[in-house]
């Protein structure tokens, strides 16, 4: 009887471990583009840009965003989910902060995160994100830079293409 009980516990542990393993975050595909630039003039970034994630993980492809870099070193990013028919409904966020360029690196620091769609669940998400904003400083390497397109690759591997809004 004791052996059967131990066997049942062992099976339960194996099932729990398997379930936990399947809940691990999805892996991001490596960005394969080449780093084509060195130091960049910060003025190249000033303006409004539409963003696209080039190597999305599950869920990121359903988000569109716009970012505005200002000459005074402030930045505002707007993001929203594309599909408003999902269980959580539409979610829109506005993140404000600061930015700077050092050589070929862009560093952004979040200072305020607001939910702007009226979605109560999104407001909870914004509140949670706001409590972690000190961890929301990020640095990205500029891989491509032209007047109308910039490709950034963040430390964690996410690649973003920014296309200037005219």
Q: Do 34 and 159 contact (CB within 8 A), yes or no?
A: no
- On whether the 42-164 domain is CATH 2.40.128.280, my answer is yes
More confidently predicted of 4 and 127: 127
> At a CB cut-off of 8 Å and minimum separation 6, what does 47 contact?
68, 69, 164, 165
pLDDT at 106 over 90: yes
pLDDT at 63 over 90: no
pTM above 0.85, yes or no: no
Share of the chain above pLDDT 70, in %: 67
DSSP letters of 120-160? Answer: HHHHHHHHHHHHTGGG--EEEEEEEE-SSEEEEEETTS-EE
Where do the domains of the chain lie?
42-164
């Amino acid at each position: 009887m004791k052996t059967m009980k131990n066997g049942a516990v062992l099976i339960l542990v194996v099932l729990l471990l398997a379930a936990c393993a399947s809940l691990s975050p999805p892996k991001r595909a490596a960005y394969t583009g080449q780093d084509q630039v060195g130091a960049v003039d910060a003025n190249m970034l000033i303006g409004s840009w539409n963003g696209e994630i080039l190597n999305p993980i599950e869920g990121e492809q359903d988000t569109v965003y716009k970012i505005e870099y200002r000459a005074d070193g402030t930045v505002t990013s707007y993001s929203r989910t594309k599909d408003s028919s999902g269980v959580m409904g539409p979610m829109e966020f506005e993140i404000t902060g600061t930015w700077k360029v050092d050589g070929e690196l862009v560093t952004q620091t979040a200072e305020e995160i607001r939910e702007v769609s009226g979605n109560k669940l999104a407001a909870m998400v914004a509140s949670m994100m706001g409590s972690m904003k000190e961890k929301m400083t990020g640095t990205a390497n500029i891989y491509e830079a032209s007047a109308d397109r910039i490709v950034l690759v963040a430390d964690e591997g996410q690649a973003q293409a920014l296309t200037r809004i005219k």
